[in-house]
Amino acid sequence: MSIPQQGGGPIERFEQLAEYIASGEKPAQDWRIGTEHEKFGYDARTLLPLPYEGATSVRAMLEGLRDRFGWEPVLEQGHIIGLTRDGANVSLEPGGQLELSGAPLETIHETNAELGRHLREVAAIGDPLGAKFLGLGAAPIWTQDQMPMMPKGRYRLMTDYMDRVGTMGKTMMYRTCTVQVNLDYASEADMVKKMRVALALQPVATALFANSPFLDGQPNGFRSWRGNVWQNLDAARTGMLPFLFEDGAGYERYVDYVLDVPMYFVYRDGKYIDALGQSFRDFLKGELPALPGEKPTLSDWADHMTTVFPEARVKKYIEMRGADGGSWRRLVALPAFWVGLMYDGGALDAAWDLVKGWDAETREGLRRVAAKQALAGEANGVRMRDLAAQAVEIARAGLVARGRADGVIADESCFLDPVAESLASGRTPADELLARYEGDWQGDLSRIYGDYSY
C-alpha cells in the first residue's frame, strides 16, 4: 500500500482537487512504466510468515537491503518500514508482504531487469537469514491469526475499520498479494479512454493471472481468491466505476467519487490520526471531527486518493489493479499486457472497440466469473478465453508497433509469452497449482513452498 504523501500546500479552491489529477498529464514521449509487486515472506525452517522482529524477520530483510545494496530507510515512529533508491521504493503490506514499487521506466526490457535485480537482492539477504519469498495471489495455508501486523499506524486503523464494512477486508490486507502497473495519460480525454479500457478488461487480467486457488490449507473453489476478496470488501471504495462510462466523465467526476468515499486517516507529524468513516467534504470546510477547524493540504488529498480501491485507479497516473501476484515471468507479463494495450494509439482504439458495446452488467459479470472460473468463465455471451485471446493479440500488436528494442530483442512482445501459453492450454497458474495439488503433491500443500518460491 502507499506510503504517506509529502509536500503540497493548503487546498484553497475546490478546483485544485481536479487540477491535482490533471497535473499528471504528460506528452507521449514522456510516458513511463511503473511496476509494483508484492510477495509473501516466510521462515524456511518453520514455513510460517516472517514476523517484523527477530533474526529471521521483515526488519532483518529491510536492514540487510539497506546495508548491502544502498537503499535509504523510511522510518515510522523509529521503525524501519520501507526503503527508497533511484526512484523505486520497497514497502510493507500489513501482513509483512514485501512490495517493490519500481522506478518509472521507459521499456518492459528495463522492467524485466529491475525485477530481476530486486529478486536477486532479496535472495542475497534472505537466504543466509533463512527467509524465502513466495509469488502467489493469496496465502495458501496460513490462517488470519497467524499473520503478523507491521508497525504502521495506517494499518492499525484500517484493520479496525475492516470489521465494520464488507466481509473480507482483513483477508485482503494480510493474506493477498498483487502485481500492478502504473501508466501515464496525455489529457483528460486520454485518461477517460484508458480508464474505460482498463476497467472493462481488468477481468481479463484477473483471469489470465489467476493464482490463488487455496486458502486455509485447501482449495477454496476459486481460481483467483484474491479477485473474490475484492468483490466482498467495501462497496464504497471498490468496484468497476460505472460512472466513468457515462457522458461527462472526467477529472471532476472522479473527484466527486473519491470525495464520497469515507476517510481512513489524516497523517500529521509522523502519526496517523483516526478519521475513520469521516468525510473529506467536511474536511474541505474545516469541519472534520478528527481535526476541527483545520483544512486539508494537497498531501491530505493525495493520501485520501490512495484509500480508494477500484479495479483501476487514478492518481497522477492510472493503476491497473486486477492481477494476482506470481512468478518472475508473469510479473513482467502484466506490464507488457497493459503497455501493449495503452501506449500505442492503434492498440488503444482496437481495445476500446472490443469493449465499448458492453453495459455495466456485462462488465460486472465478467469481473465475477474471472475470479471464480478464470479463462473458463462467460458473462452475457462473452467468453473469457475468447476475449482474453483478442486482448492479448491487440497488446502484442501494440508492443510490436512500439518497436522498443534492447539491442538483442526487436520489441517487447516476447514478454507476453506466459499469457499466450495460458491461452493455448486454457490453463492459468491456478489450474496448474490445482493439478499439482491433486497429482504429484497428493494433497500435501506444504509442497508449494519448495516448488513456487522465487
Structural domains for the chain: 15-443 (3.30.590.20)
Arithmetic mean of pLDDT, 147-158: 93
Give residue-wise pLDDT tens across range 362-417. 999 999 999 999 999 999 999 999 999 999 999 999 999 999 999 889 999 999 99
Note if the pTM is more than 0.95: yes
Give residue-wise pLDDT tens across range 421-451. 999 999 999 999 999 999 999 999 999 999 9
For the chain, give the percent of residues with pLDDT over 90: 94
Arithmetic mean of pLDDT, 153-166: 87
pLDDT on residue 2: 56
Q: Is the pLDDT of residue 4 over 70?
A: no
pLDDT on residue 44: 98
Is residue 429 exposed (0-12), middle (13-18) or buried (19+ Cβ within 10 Å)? buried
pLDDT on residue 3: 53
pLDDT, the chain, mean? 96
pLDDT on residue 391: 99
For the chain, give the percent of residues with pLDDT over 70: 98
Arithmetic mean of pLDDT, 80-107: 98
Q: Is the pLDDT of residue 8 over 80?
A: no
Going by pLDDT thresholds of 50, 70 and 90, the confidence category of residue 303 is very high
